Amino acid sequence: MAAVGDEALAAKILKRLELCSFAASLGGVRTVTQAPSTMAFLDVPAEQKERMEIRDGMIRVSAGIESARDIIADFDQALARS
């Protein structure tokens, strides 16, 4: 996982991805993404998230079977537009 800034910027980047899909479940063969601090760890107290290094603005990626170059290009274009 990597933080791209705050929660609003992470949401903006996730919306701009074209190949990668936003998903609550990180399974399957497609590349999917999520914002852990507001999804998987939503109910975890802030102090515990801090100890786990789960920060607002983080994007989690579960890479699928798409070409790594295509996934990287998708993130490049989403980041460039943010």
> CATH assignment of 2-80, given 3.40.50.150, 3.40.50.2300, 3.40.190.10, 3.90.1150.10?
3.90.1150.10
Low-confidence ranges of the chain (pLDDT < 50): none
- Classify 78 as helix, strand or coil: helix
Question: Residue 41's pLDDT is what?
Answer: 80
End-to-end Cα separation, the chain, in angstroms: 18
**Cα angle 65-10-82, degrees, rounded to a multiple of 5:** 95
Cα–Cα distance between 60 and 24 in angstroms, integer?
11
* 17-34 residue pLDDT tens: 988 877 766 567 889 888
